[in-house]
Amino acid sequence: MTQDESTLIHREYVSGRPFEAVIEAFEAVVGTLDDASLQEAVTASSDEAGFEARLRAFEGSSGFMKFFVADHGAWLARVGQKARARMYVIGNPLIARTMLRHDVAMGLHVPVRVLIYEHRGDGKCHLGYDVPSSLMARLGNEELLVAARKLDDKLARLAEQVTGDSARG
């Protein structure tokens, strides 16, 4: 076993928009790709161009696709806690390949997780995620970091678009 430590950068956006409006804006620009559709695209494609064309059909206008949603608020209500929070797993295999080609170990960090939640302290809608390049820095691969920073920028644009805020943190 090996173990290392690295510095994580977390970004948090605070929106003046209500929780529902941020969720609606987010879901409007992020496409959906479920497991069955991904497997179908893999099976039906005989080459890179065909695979890419099939995947592009699932992209939202942001260039991202939603793979999974955990509505924490829904299940927390069943255990007596009131919260509004949804965690999304988003990404795009066409973006991931730009990083995986440099080091397949970065597959641990893509797709990425985004949490949209109503903060108990300030009552405002927050959108947070861990910056991908900070998660991948420990791999020590400069080409990978260049590609990961492009993903960082793409995530920042998405967050700013749906929240109307720029990053803090």
Please give the pLDDT value at position 35: 94
Please give the pLDDT value at position 168: 53
Please give the pLDDT value at position 56: 97
Please give the pLDDT value at position 163: 98
Structure tokens at 52: 């890419």
**Separation of alpha carbons 90 and 147, rounded Å:** 17
Domains located in the chain, CATH noted: 10-163 (3.30.310.70)
**Separation of alpha carbons 61 and 96, rounded Å:** 17
Smallest Cα–Cα separation from 92: which of 114, 116, 66, 61? Answer: 66
Structure tokens at 110: 């893509």
* pTM score of the predicted model: 0.93
Please give the pLDDT value at position 65: 98
Q: What is the pLDDT along the chain (169 residues), one digit of tens a residue?
A: 988 788 899 999 999 999 999 999 999 999 999 999 999 999 999 999 999 999 999 999 999 999 999 999 999 999 999 999 999 999 999 999 998 998 898 888 899 999 999 999 899 999 999 999 998 887 888 888 899 999 999 999 999 999 998 755 4
Smallest Cα–Cα separation from 110: which of 135, 141, 87? Answer: 135
Please give the pLDDT value at position 111: 97
The residue behind tokens 């790709």 is: 33
